[in-house]
Amino acid sequence: MDTLKPERLPVHLAVIMDGNGRWAKKRMLRRIVGHRKGVETVRVIVEECSRLGIKYLTLFAFSAENWLRPKTEVKALMALLKKYVRMEVARMMQNNIRFNVIGNRADLPDDINAEIEAAIAKTAGNTGMLLTLALSYGGRQEIVMAARKMALEAVAGRLAPEQIDERLFTASLYTADIPDPDLLIRSSGEMRISNFLLWQLAYAELYFTDVDWPDFDRNELARAFRDYQSRERRFGMTSDQLRK
Ligand code: FPP
């Protein structure tokens, strides 16, 4: 088995953590048990990515469409989230991890926003991996948000239409200071992007695994990284051009 080449690891890993509910169902357990187990997996993968020197890790923890779920599940997920953010700050400090959130924070309960603010402030000085949770996040909503921002600047006469280019668009997104993901991992067998980082994933490598998120571990992560390292990323160019 090929060993992982540290110099060829993704700078930015994005993850759609799917399959908590199905994992629980297969075991005749309530969905919330799957989410709880899913949080344990988050801990393991965050620590492992930090240990491997991944610079940016972005986790799809709650989508804009997840609000449509049964109220009891939304409430339970929010409670898990609050506990996670509060409990993990100490571990983030130990691992020199900086915490960040993208998404429409106005949708989140005040007490969760307060925990998030505290965690962001506490870890702001850390210089290791940037851990970003996507919360109440939707790629289309983010693009509309960016377009509105630029339109307001244009209406105020501070921006001419011809100044709107990819660079300005990228700078208008939640992820303005984060490089595009190199690799997207989705667990649990579904092969779709589910409105995640639509602009940013333009040239990301996609890796789908049948393993449910609660069962995703260091070995599965290493398997994904080995697959990623075996790929040739051409960004629209030819292989010959890459070799020059
Ligand atoms: C999808 O599984 C997963 C989510 C809705 C979000 C992921 C949430 C967690 C891992 C727990 C909370 C996260 C943090 C960071 C505290 P699903 O419920 O859609 O599973 P299914 O597709 O099998 O129904």
Q: What is the pLDDT of residues 209-231, one digit of tens each?
A: 999 999 999 999 999 999 999 99
Q: Per-residue pLDDT averaged across 109-115, rounded?
A: 98
Cβ neighbors of 112 (< 8 A, separation 6 or more) are 78, 81, 82, 85
Q: What's the CA gap between 109 and 113, in Å, rounded? A: 6
pLDDT digits (tens, 9 = 90+) for 153-166: 999 999 999 999 99
Name the residue with higher pLDDT: 3 or 172. Answer: 172
Tell me the β-bridge partners of 15: 59, 185
Structure tokens at 219: 């070995």
Catalytic residue flag (residue 66) = yes
Q: Per-residue pLDDT averaged across 89-99, rounded?
A: 98
Q: At residue 118, what is the residue type? A: A
* 106-120, 181-195, 230-244, range with the lowest pLDDT: 230-244
Q: Mapped to the 3 state alphabet, what secondary structure does the chain carry? A: CCCCCHHHCCCEEEEECCCHHHHHHHCCCCHHHHHHHHHHHHHHHHHHHHHHCCCEEEEEEEEHHHHHCCHHHHHHHHHHHHHHHHHHHHHHHHCCCEEEEECCHHHCCHHHHHHHHHHHHHHCCCCCCEEEEEEEECHHHHHHHHHHHHHHHHHCCCCCHHHCCHHHHHHCCCCCCCCCCCEEEECCCCCCCCCCCCCCCCCCEEEECCCCHHHCCHHHHHHHHHHHHCCCCCCCCCHHHHHC
Cβ neighbors of 75 (< 8 A, separation 6 or more) are none
C-alpha 35 – ligand 1 centre gap (Å) = 6
* pTM of the predicted model as reported, rounded to 2 decimal places: 0.97
C-alpha 237 – ligand 1 centre gap (Å) = 37
* Confidence label for 1 from pLDDT (cuts 50, 70 and 90): low
What three-state secondary structure class fits 60?
A: strand
pLDDT at 234: 95
Q: Per-residue pLDDT averaged across 100-115, rounded?
A: 98
Residues with CB under 6 A from ligand 1: 17-22, 35, 38-39, 42, 59, 61-62, 66, 77, 80-81, 84, 133, 213
What mean pLDDT value characterizes the chain?
97
* Confidence label for 33 from pLDDT (cuts 50, 70 and 90): very high
- Ligand 1 atom at minimal distance to the Cα of residue 81: 16
pLDDT at 100: 98
3 pLDDT more than 90: no
pLDDT at 73: 97
* Confidence label for 46 from pLDDT (cuts 50, 70 and 90): very high
Catalytic residue flag (residue 110) = no
pLDDT at 9: 97
Q: Per-residue pLDDT averaged across 34-46, rounded?
A: 98
For the chain, percent of residues with pLDDT exceeding 90: 97
pLDDT at 242: 86
Q: Which of the 8 DSSP states describes residue 129?
A: -
* Confidence label for 120 from pLDDT (cuts 50, 70 and 90): very high
Q: Per-residue pLDDT averaged across 231-235, rounded?
A: 95
